[in-house]
Amino acid sequence: MMPPCWRPSSVEGESSSSSNANGRVDGLLWYKDSGEHVAGEFSMAVIQANNQLEDTSQLESGPLSLFETGPHGTFVGIYDGHGGPTAARFINEHLFSYIKKFTTENNGMSADVINKAFLATEEDFLALVRKQWLNDPQMASVGSCCLVGIVCRGLLYIANAGDSRVVLGRSDNDFKEVKAVQLSTEHNTCIESVREELRSSHPDDPQIVVLKHTVWRVKGIIQISRSIGDAYLKNAEFNREPLLPKFRVPESFNKPILRADPTILVHKINPEDNFLIFASDGLWEHLSNQEAVDIVNTCPRNGIARKLVKAALREAAKKREMRYSDLKKIDRGVRRHFHDDITVVVLFIDFNLVNRSYWHGPAVSIHGSDGVAGHDIS
């Protein structure tokens, strides 16, 4: 069992870090150690492992509609891309705009608003794939998991499509302990209920999930059952040349194999709810829910997202029987053999602030991949 908090030490060559508009960049690490949102404080961090950073993230705090008089709150998005960064970056640029549009049209935040925003973003991305088909057919194989959290008027909305995760730190036993409570539903075929859902929705396809090299995959290709993008598994028009053969399924299909609609949870925030940890699956591959909550609960708030990333990297190094200091020297691309891109957003909740419908401070808009070395689409 790892200690919940470590003494200060360098992270990815911390001494050579440089700042940008929204945070600091240190080689493959981007971080925003602290900031304020409508209902408390936050901390963010991103570590790159792939040749191109496939994770993107954002935090928006202020008006959640197109009008200042509309509801105020905080929006967190974690977008874990695969096959490249295109879909994750597209979501980062479009999803929150749809949240504001539909919140305005519906005169408030709701699960239906969030669902509509996911599906509108999906529709726009598939339209882009169609438009680019002749010039860039491989865009049909790019997709992204999409995890969203919204704090608005005393309620917490969690929406997830894919296998990123949000964990709540909740006080228990008269505030003596802080327990981990997973709030998101994951859509990964390693989970038996996900495999059953796929079989139930595709009863005529005995190969809808296939065990391949000890890993369950949809059509033997991909582990997640819900995403934005992955057009080749959504629309049969993209299941053909010139798409690479490894992405094509042998038979045609008349209904989407993957889904884009999220699983949505609506939770009334109470005084025992202390903080939320949003992260791509790269973090949860190395830390359990409770380990992550223990770190946040026992360490100073400033830089806590960076501490979680560091904890995951230490575990990744330990699994490969190498020193953490040596792992930090490995460059992107090669680094992917040791761990995935990791994005973390920690949202602290001040119960005295969660029910207010206005925000005294300036609107906050932070995109967690900006400025990380090698993140640009080439």
Element holding 101 (H helix, E strand): helix 86-105
Say if residue 371's pLDDT is above 80: no
- φ and ψ of 306, to 5 deg: -65, -35
pLDDT at residue 283 is higher than 60: yes
Q: Is the pLDDT of residue 20 over 60?
A: no
Q: Would the pLDDT of 333 be above 60?
A: yes
In this model, does residue 45 exceed pLDDT 50? yes
109-156 pLDDT per residue, tens: 999 999 999 999 999 999 999 999 999 999 999 999 999 999 999 999
pLDDT, tens only, 152-189: 999 999 999 999 999 999 999 777 899 999 999 999 99
**Tens of pLDDT, residues 220-234:** 999 999 999 999 999
Number of H helices, E strands in the chain: 7, 17
Mean pLDDT of 325-330: 91
Share above pLDDT 70 across residues of the chain, in percent, rounded to a whole number = 91
Compare 22 and 193 and report the one with higher pLDDT.
Answer: 193
* Lowest-pLDDT range of 68-77, 85-94, 335-344, 349-358: 349-358
| Residue range(s) occupied by CATH 3.60.40.10 in the chain | 14-82+145-188+263-367
Name the CATH superfamily housing domain 14-82+145-188+263-367.
Answer: PPM-type phosphatase domain (3.60.40.10)
- Give the mean model confidence (pLDDT) for residues 335-362: 87
- pTM of the full structure: 0.92
**Residue 209's beta-bridge partner residues?**
218
What is the structure's pLDDT at 355?
Answer: 77
Q: Residue 16 above 70 pLDDT?
A: no
Structure confidence at residue 378 (pLDDT):
25
- Put residue 222 in one of left, alpha, beta given phi > 0 → left and psi -120 to 50 → alpha: beta
- Say if residues 72 and 357 touch (Cβ distance below 8 Å): yes
Helix (H) or strand (E) holding 93: helix 86-105
The overall average pLDDT reported for the chain is: 90
Question: Could you give the count of Cα atoms lying within 13 Å of 127 in the half-sphere of its Cβ?
Answer: 7
Closest to 105 in 3D by CA, of 127, 120, 124: 120
Q: Is the model's pLDDT at 8 over the cut of 50?
A: no
- Backbone φ and ψ for 116, nearest 5 degrees, come out as -60, -35
